[in-house]
Structure 1
Amino acid sequence: MKLPSLLATGVLALLPALAPLPARAHFQLLFSPETMIEHPGDVAVGLIFWHPFENGQAMNMAKPEQFFAINRGKRIDLEATLTPRRFRGAENAADAWQGSVPVKRAGDYVLVTVPAPYYEETEEIYIQQIAKSFLNRGAFPTDWNKPVGLPAEIVPLDKPYNIPAGATFTGRVLSAGKPVAGAEIEVEYLAAAPDLKAFATTEPTTAPLPGGALVVTSDENGYFTFGVPRAGFWGFAALGVGPQRRFKGKELSQDAVIWIRAWDMK
């Protein structure tokens, strides 16, 4: 697939966006510390609704509506693996979930959670962040660049689990399978990777930049590009792009979230 040039479309990393939804920095985390799996076995995953860049407030998360993985085109239902946990953040503790993925065959494991909508009282809206993250076994790519068919989704154009730090990441924002032009996409860094055994935050490795959330926008074909400045986990949330706009009589922001892993080259 050939992308239009960045200069022609105006897609630039860290370009402030003009969009009707305010930047929030709420991020649905779908986290495993290991993305490249060497041996078969169950891989623990933390499902946490949080402000990970600032190591800030954690929000109570109800049981997800869906939790599954895609491997070689087949869906693996993971809802039965979910266990309620209490996540201890730097500011507060909140309800969260822990699940696991049976990684057996080589290939990609595209992890997906469809959380229950969360009511944000300060904005008087519901937020539903449909999130994807990625595991791989055997360095054998199979599913990473294929749409899952979610109501709100970001499809990566760069392999999302081995991005070199200093390179760029490009994704495409979809709403019910159709590209979204002019989407506001928040960019988040996992500054304090959770300890899944203690189910608690750790010491942050960096602080957010001044000026609020990092934001990029999608072009007329739904593409966006971000220059990844450092190694670690990076999240992208396309705000309000899903087709469902109301829930329980109030506004619903149905967001698409994707997490990628960047590495330093040695």
Structure 2
Amino acid sequence: MNRILASVALAATLATPATAHFQLIYAPDPNMAAPVDQPLKLIFWHPMENGHAMDMGAPTEFFYVFKGDKVDLSPSLTPITFKGTDNEAAAYEGVLPVKRNGDYIVGLVPAPYYEGSEDIYIQQITKAFFNKGGLPTGWNEPLGLPTEIVPLNKPTNVIAGSTFSGQLLSDGQPVAGAEIEIEYIAAEPDMETNAVGEATVKPMPAGAIVAITDANGIFTFGIPRAGHWGFAALGSGPVKEHEGKELSQDAVIWIKAYDLK
């Protein structure tokens, strides 16, 4: 199948989103001024709805990339219980050692999650971005993941009221015509208690916010307010089956937007 036909087929697959779940790699602020061992919360949740949380299995990969060097963070993982508004769920905490100035791109490949209501597995391959000292050192470089979204705006310094663009890749190639589901963390988790905080916005009345990638796999979204924004391409990965059932292998990234003051 040529790339054009492959893109059309993938777009048809993504036309009906399988789920509104979002994998998080969360810390309150991605920008650091001094060296720190930064705790990170890995939570599988419905953050814009401040809704149901799902149990995570042990991640298959958890790492960061700094100036092209990949460092395994798996030894830092600790199981935690995330306390959502409606339920509790198994989650994880990891630690990102931030020492030198530059960009730290954190990657997570979670174990596939079985969604019984749809009889499918979901695997959200997720990236988040952190920086020390304001020095850019590679935030726009792909990590070579099976599927990923590469930011085209500096993801740790987005201005509320501006736009954010990203490029969706699958097996390193741009994906045209794909749906990008967009999410906002309405109630940020408390880093000490692992419990959800107060909601600052209500869920959208018409369901998911969606953008579509162009012929080069690029999408753009206007950022209406400060906070943590997530972008997910459902089913964009090359692996389509797990343990004999359909697998939605998704690409997810998180960015932080700020108000000008």
Q: Is 1:181 equivalent to 2:176 in the alignment?
A: yes
Task: Report the AA paired with residue 78 of structure 1.
Answer: L
Structure 2 CA distance for aligned equivalents of residues 41 and 187 of structure 1: 30
AA aligned opposite 1:216: A
1:25 equivalenced with 2:20 (yes/no)? yes
Local SS of the residue matching 1:52:
coil
Partner of 1:90: 85
- Which residue pairs with 1:192 in the alignment? 187
Residues of 1 paired with 2:29 and 2:71: CA distance?
A: 19
Q: How does 1:1-266 map to 2 (within 5 A)?
A: 19-22=14-17, 24-266=19-261
1:147-194 CA-partner distances (Å, limit 9, x unpaired) = 000001000000001100000000000001000011111100011111
Distance 2:182 2:211 in 1: 7
- Contact conserved, 1:151 with 1:243, CA < 8 A, in 2? yes
Letter in 1 for 2:115: E
Distance in 2 of aligned mates of 1:54 and 1:249: 31
Distance (Å, rounded) in 2 between the aligned partners of 1:107 and 1:135: 8
Question: How far 1:208 moved relative to its partner?
Answer: 1.5
Q: Any conservation in 1 of the 2:179–2:210 contact (CA below 8 Å)?
A: yes
TM-score, length-scaled by structure 2: 0.94
Alignment TM-score, normalising by the size of structure 1: 0.92
Structure 2 distance, partners of 1:92, 1:84, is 17
Give the deviation of 1:22 after TM superposition. Answer: 2.3
Corresponding letter in the other structure for 2:252: V
Q: How far is 1:67 from its partner?
A: 0.4
Give the drift of 1:73.
Answer: 0.9
Deviation at 1:21, TM superposition (A): 3.3
The number of aligned residues is: 250
Q: Partner amino acid for 2:98?
A: V
Bigger shift: 208-217 or 228-237?
208-217
Q: Assess if the C-alpha contact under 8 Å between 2:13 and 2:235 holds in 1.
A: no
**2: CA distance, partners of 1:124 / 1:251:** 8
Check whether the contact 2:233–2:250 (CA below 8 A) recurs between aligned residues.
yes
